[in-house]
């Protein structure tokens, strides 16, 4: 827990954390990461948070709950068996753990289970900011140390905290060691301020019997009541997403923002790490609950943009990857977040950066060569630039061009070559060109919001240009699917989920989509099965590797593929795909509370980093199956003939709160707590639009149903189905109802 403070124009930061000792084993800091067994609620504002971990070889859990009750104060509770020894550690954040001579000094309060921290300021004499940390349990050990490493070494060695014998007077860390006693609980208070006596009085009041218990109960209930929820079908999906994302939230000093790093395990040294498409897709996950962290993530990614316009593969607190970008999903994600939280200032900041990035791909780099169109055929390839500036992980070879794809070691790249003159692969890539088209389509929509009609027309033209080229050059009629193509003209036969991205971008014709879906996606020898969708087809020799991007299942590719299916109206398949994605995530989550980086397609178990943020995209898919908004379908809700009832409550779009309930015999939409639409069947509604002239939508249903709308208070309306009038109907009790036959239909309800 970090207190970010400033005084006299200078930083005054304090931090505390917890470690646990049992059976000669001490874990703290990064060591707890691998031992986490409950990733509990974590309110974006810190009002209530809970986490549990174990100390091997024991299975009993230590549970930490805390609440930020105001800008100066945190209170918390630790629950553990009485023989666990708890170490509360204080230190100076944003500095190496073994650093000496920092501006903060810690000391122990006399005859109390408390630590006092002081922070000094340049050219300010006498005044110091202070941190008081106090527990309500007697200590069995306590001490101050030159560094956090010294404190940890003491615990790992002697197993008890004692005053450091080091002669240096600087004490940049301090610790209290205690047990929970017969009550199995201990409580703590951490406060910053200026006056030690006032801080002590406030701490004593908060540590009064029952006080912190009451605070945590109230904060827990308040947070639970305001966050999005799902029940029945796709139970707890929003809560799972929020718990995982906000547990990974960190402070990024360079951008002065708080947002989730891709993984806490990666977030040391420089303090935060993002991947480009990891970050953009992660912003969709946080947007379920929190505007600030979603926009902060977008700012962090785009703030790393280079002078050429490239948005790097790896923005972070340290160096960046100046040689390579990653899949261009940013404009699509920004469009979706703007629909949830229409902040014009944020959009105006992001738009020119997104535009510059889009233009970078084909821009002349200065020698007549486009950055990523190596063979000048109007289509893009993945690449990595050569140069003298530092780029994290190296630059200018095939391996780095593979990393730009975001699908690092996928077998699609096994037979490609890197051209040292163009800095690109010798392969026109289906996925990249499709995502570039999606980027153009999304930028056109963003330009329209901002009233930039010239830009809007330009992006629409760019979209049509790349759409036509992909159709002409990358569709293989013989194989019935879009395929990557070598510069020599031959198609690559190595498929992946990105082979379906022409559907995501609206490039594929209806006939092409039919072949792609039925001959390849639903083919159990290639992509379909109990565990979907592998990043390498099952009939590819590399599928058996099941290593990283060679056959495993990943959240981002599943998410993008889901929207490809949904865009073409394959509603029955989309539901099945969403259910399989949700079930795949649930297996490891229920067992170990893991949000995995990847999942193995031969048995569904997780792999890679097991607290990696974008695994939760597998839970976003089913939620967006129930309720979503995108540039081509507008507001979309409902599930095609669901097997059971379910509801998704608390979604936000354009300043309104939406709830949707689905089931075999119902589809209900509420806006701001008021029912607006009801059908007596499980149907899908797209482009649901309410205007002064009436209501319009596209619907798809397996059977006939009755449409009931409550968007009119009184008067007469004329419903039309596929342009055919159903006669005038009087609004009765604010409701209008009429029958709709099975199948796909365009609905209009015009005011008279």
Q: How far apart are CA 254 and CA 702, in angstroms?
A: 53
Q: What is the pLDDT of residue 97?
A: 62
Residue 94 has pLDDT above 90, yes or no: no
Calculate the alpha carbon distances from 640 to 27, 354, 544, 566, 576 in Å.
49, 35, 34, 11, 10
Nearest-CA neighbor of 516 among 426, 430, 628?
A: 430
Q: What is the pLDDT of residue 270?
A: 62
Calculate the alpha carbon distances from 9 to 6, 118, 126, 664 in Å.
6, 17, 16, 61
For 589, counting Cβ atoms within 10 Å of its Cβ (0-12 exposed, 13-18 middle, 19+ buried), the class is buried
Residue 67 has pLDDT above 80, yes or no: yes
Q: How far apart are CA 93 and CA 253, in angstroms?
A: 11
What's the rounded mean pLDDT across residues 424-441?
98
Q: How far apart are CA 611 and CA 608, in angstroms?
A: 9
Q: Specify whether the CB–CB gap between 207 and 113 falls below 8 A.
A: no
Q: Specify whether the CB–CB gap between 87 and 20 falls below 8 A.
A: yes
Last residue of a domain, one of 565, 592, 623: 623
529 three-state secondary structure? coil
How many alpha carbons fall within 13 Å on the CB side of residue 418?
Answer: 17
How many alpha carbons fall within 13 Å on the CB side of residue 386?
Answer: 10
Q: How far apart are CA 494 and CA 380, in angstroms?
A: 18
What's the rounded mean pLDDT across residues 61-65?
98
Domain of residue 740 covers: 633-751
Angle between helices 276-286 and 330-340 (to 10 degrees): 20
305, part of any domain: yes
Q: How far apart are CA 223 and CA 709, in angstroms?
A: 32
Residues sharing a CB contact under 8 Å with residue 71, sequence separation 6 or more, in sequence order: none
Q: Specify whether the CB–CB gap between 69 and 215 falls below 8 A.
A: yes
Which ranges constitute the DSSP H helices of 361-429? 398-404
Nearest-CA neighbor of 686 among 634, 630, 641, 743?
A: 634
Last residue of a domain, one of 204, 226, 248: 226
The Cβ of residue 46 has, within 10 Å, a number of other Cβ atoms equal to 17
644, part of any domain: yes
Residue 415 has pLDDT above 90, yes or no: yes
Q: What is the pLDDT of residue 292?
A: 97
406, part of any domain: yes
Q: C-alpha angle 395/400/404, rounded to 5°?
A: 120
409, part of any domain: yes
118, part of any domain: yes
Q: What is the pLDDT of residue 110?
A: 84
Strands (E), 613-655: 627-630, 634-637, 646-653
Q: What is the pLDDT of residue 635?
A: 97
Q: What is the pLDDT of residue 317?
A: 78
pLDDT confidence bin for 269, thresholds 50/70/90:
low
Q: What is the CATH number of the domain that holds 23?
A: 2.70.98.10
At 398, give phi and psi (nearest 5°).
Answer: -60, -40
Q: Specify whether the CB–CB gap between 480 and 500 falls below 8 A.
A: no
Calculate the alpha carbon distances from 418 to 314, 321, 484, 701, 746 in Å.
21, 18, 15, 49, 49
Q: What is the pLDDT of residue 585?
A: 97
- 607 and 665 assigned to the same domain: no
% the chain with pLDDT above 90: 90
What are 54's strand-pairing partners?
61
% the chain with pLDDT above 70: 99
Q: What SS3 string covers 539-586?
A: CCHHHHHCECCECCECHHHHHHHHHHHHHCCCHHHHHHHHHHHHHHHH
Average pLDDT, the chain: 95
Q: What are the structure tokens assigned to 558, written together?
A: 């599943």
- 647 and 694 assigned to the same domain: yes
Q: How many residues does the chain have?
A: 752
Per-residue pLDDT tens digits for 225-246:
999 999 999 999 999 999 999 9
Residue 419 has pLDDT above 70, yes or no: yes
Q: Specify whether the CB–CB gap between 278 and 270 falls below 8 A.
A: no
Q: C-alpha angle 694/697/703, rounded to 5°?
A: 125
Nearest-CA neighbor of 305 among 256, 360, 376, 237?
A: 360
- 330 and 449 assigned to the same domain: yes
Q: Specify whether the CB–CB gap between 530 and 389 falls below 8 A.
A: no
- 359 and 274 assigned to the same domain: yes
619, part of any domain: yes
| Long-range contacts from 450-454, C-beta under 8 angstroms, 24+ separation | 450/347, 450/348, 450/351
Per-residue pLDDT tens digits for 509-557:
999 999 999 999 999 999 999 999 999 999 999 999 999 999 999 999 9
Last residue of a domain, one of 226, 245, 264: 226
Q: Are strands 656-663 and 666-671 parallel, antiparallel or unpaired?
A: antiparallel
Q: What are the structure tokens assigned to 287, written together?
A: 């947007």
Quick check: bond before 674 cis, omega within 30? no
628, part of any domain: no
Q: How far apart are CA 565 and CA 579, in angstroms?
A: 14
What's the rounded mean pLDDT across residues 360-364?
98
Report CA torsion sign: 109, 176, 62, 66.
Answer: positive
Q: How far apart are CA 623 and CA 129, in angstroms?
A: 46
Hunting for tokens 């207190």 — which residue is that?
3
- 429 and 299 assigned to the same domain: yes
Quick check: bond before 30 cis, omega within 30? no
Q: C-alpha angle 356/451/280, rounded to 5°?
A: 45
Residue 355 has pLDDT above 90, yes or no: yes
- 193 and 287 assigned to the same domain: no
- 598 and 646 assigned to the same domain: no
pTM above 0.75, yes or no: yes
Q: Which helix (H) or strand (E) holds 42?
A: strand 36-42
Residue 182 has pLDDT above 70, yes or no: yes
CA 520 to chain centre: 29
What's the rounded mean pLDDT across residues 444-459?
98
Residue 168 has pLDDT above 80, yes or no: no
Q: What is the pLDDT of residue 267?
A: 81
458 three-state secondary structure? helix
Strands (E), 109-145: 114-119, 129-135, 141-145
Per-residue pLDDT tens digits for 106-147:
999 987 899 999 999 999 998 899 999 999 999 999 999 988
Q: Specify whether the CB–CB gap between 687 and 696 falls below 8 A.
A: yes
- 411 and 512 assigned to the same domain: yes
Q: How far apart are CA 547 and CA 264, in angstroms?
A: 22
Per-residue pLDDT tens digits for 474-513:
999 999 999 999 999 999 999 999 999 999 999 999 999 9
- 616 and 644 assigned to the same domain: no
Nearest-CA neighbor of 232 among 683, 660, 647, 670?
A: 647
Q: What are the structure tokens assigned to 106, written together?
A: 């810690």
- 112 and 181 assigned to the same domain: yes
Q: What is the pLDDT of residue 582?
A: 98
221, part of any domain: yes
Q: What are the structure tokens assigned to 612, written together?
A: 């990696």
Q: What are the structure tokens assigned to 704, written together?
A: 């006939």
Q: Specify whether the CB–CB gap between 552 and 411 falls below 8 A.
A: no
Residue 604, sorted as left (phi over 0), alpha (psi -120 to 50) or beta, turns out to be left
The count of domains in the chain is 3
- 509 and 612 assigned to the same domain: yes
Residue 256, sorted as left (phi over 0), alpha (psi -120 to 50) or beta, turns out to be left
Q: Which residue has the higher pLDDT, 446 or 24?
A: 446
- 597 and 666 assigned to the same domain: no
Q: What is the CATH number of the domain that holds 713?
A: 2.60.40
Nearest-CA neighbor of 585 among 235, 230, 224?
A: 235
Q: What is the pLDDT of residue 99?
A: 67
């Amino acid at each position: 827990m970090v207190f970010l403070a400033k005084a006299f124009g200078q930083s005054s930061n304090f931090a505390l954390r917890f470690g646990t000792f049992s059976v000669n084993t001490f874990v703290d800091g990064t060591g707890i990461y691998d031992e986490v067994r409950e990733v509990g609620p974590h309110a974006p504002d810190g009002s209530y948070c809970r986490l549990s971990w174990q100390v091997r070889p024991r299975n009993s859990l230590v549970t930490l709950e805390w609440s930020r009750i105001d800008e100066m104060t945190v209170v918390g509770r630790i629950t553990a068996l009485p023989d666990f020894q708890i170490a509360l550690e204080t230190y100076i954040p944003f500095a190496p753990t073994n650093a000496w001579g920092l501006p903060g000094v810690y000391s122990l309060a006399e005859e109390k289970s408390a630590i006092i921290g002081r922070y000094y300021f340049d050219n300010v004499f006498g005044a110091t900011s202070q941190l008081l940390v106090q527990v309500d349990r007697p200590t069995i050990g306590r001490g101050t140390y030159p560094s956090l490493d010294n404190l940890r070494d003491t615990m790992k060695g002697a197993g008890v905290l004692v005053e450091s014998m080091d002669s240096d007077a600087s004490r940049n860390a301090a610790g209290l060691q205690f047990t929970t006693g017969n009550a199995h609980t201990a409580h703590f208070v951490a406060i910053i301020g200026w006056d030690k006596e006032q801080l002590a009085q406030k701490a004593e009041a908060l540590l009064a019997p029952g006080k912190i218990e009451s605070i945590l109960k109230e904060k827990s209930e308040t947070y639970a009541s305001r966050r999005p929820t799902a029940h029945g079908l796709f139970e707890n999906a929003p809560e799972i997403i929020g718990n995982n994302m906000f547990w990974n939230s960190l402070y990024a000093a360079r951008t002065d923002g708080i947002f989730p790093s891709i993984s806490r395990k990666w977030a040391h040294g420089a303090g935060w790490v993002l991947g480009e498409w990891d970050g953009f897709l992660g912003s969709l996950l946080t947007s379920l609950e929190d505007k600030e962290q979603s926009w902060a993530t977008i700012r962090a990614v785009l703030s790393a943009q280079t002078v050429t316009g490239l948005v790097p593969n790896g923005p972070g607190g340290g160096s960046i990857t100046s040689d390579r970008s990653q899949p261009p999903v940013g404009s699509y994600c920004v469009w979706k977040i703007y629909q949830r939280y229409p902040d014009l200032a944020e959009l105006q900041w992001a738009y020119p950066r997104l535009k510059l990035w889009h233009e970078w791909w084909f821009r002349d780099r200065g020698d007549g060569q486009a950055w990523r169109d190596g063979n000048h055929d109007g289509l893009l390839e993945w690449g990595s630039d050569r140069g003298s500036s530092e780029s994290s992980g190296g630059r200018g070879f095939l391996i780095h061009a593979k990393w730009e794809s975001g699908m690092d070691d996928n077998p699609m790249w096994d037979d490609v070559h890197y051209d040292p003159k163009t800095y690109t692969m010798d392969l026109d890539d289906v996925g990249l060109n499709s995502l570039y088209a999606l980027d153009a389509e999304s930028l056109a929509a963003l330009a329209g919001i901002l009233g930039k009609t010239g830009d809007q027309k330009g992006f629409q033209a760019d979209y049509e240009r790349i759409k036509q080229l992909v159709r002409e050059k990358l569709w293989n009629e013989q194989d019935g699917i879009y395929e990557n193509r070598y510069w020599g003209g031959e198609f690559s036969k190595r498929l992946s989920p990105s082979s379906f991205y022409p559907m995501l971008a609206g490039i594929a014709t209806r006939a092409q989509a039919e072949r792609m879906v039925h001959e390849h996606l639903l083919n159990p020898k290639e992509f379909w099965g109990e565990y979907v969708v592998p990043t390498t087809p099952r009939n590819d020799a590399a599928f058996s590797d099941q290593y990283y991007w060679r056959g495993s299942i990943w959240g981002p590719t599943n998410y993008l593929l889901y929207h490809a299916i949904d865009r073409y109206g394959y509603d029955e398949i989309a539901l099945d795909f969403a259910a399989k994605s949700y079930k795949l995530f649930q297996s490891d989550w229920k067992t170990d509370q893991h949000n995995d980086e990847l999942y193995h397609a031969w048995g569904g178990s997780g792999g890679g980093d097991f607290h990696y943020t974008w695994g939760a995209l597998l839970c976003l898919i089913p939620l967006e199956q129930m309720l979503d908004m995108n540039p081509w379908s507008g507001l979309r809700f409902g599930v095609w003939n669901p097997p059971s009832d379910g509801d998704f409550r608390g979604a936000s779009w354009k300043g309104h709160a939406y709830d949707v309930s689905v089931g075999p015999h119902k589809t209900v939409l509420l806006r701001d707590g008021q029912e607006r639409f009801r059908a007596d069947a499980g149907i899908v509604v797209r482009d649901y639009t309410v205007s002064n002239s009436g209501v319009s939508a596209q619907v798809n249903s397996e059977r006939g149903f009755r449409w009931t709308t409550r968007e009119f208070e009184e008067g007469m309306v004329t419903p039309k189905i596929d342009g055919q009038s159903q006669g005038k109907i009087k609004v009765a009790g604010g409701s209008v109802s009429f029958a709709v036959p099975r199948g796909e239909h365009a609905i209009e309800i015009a005011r008279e």
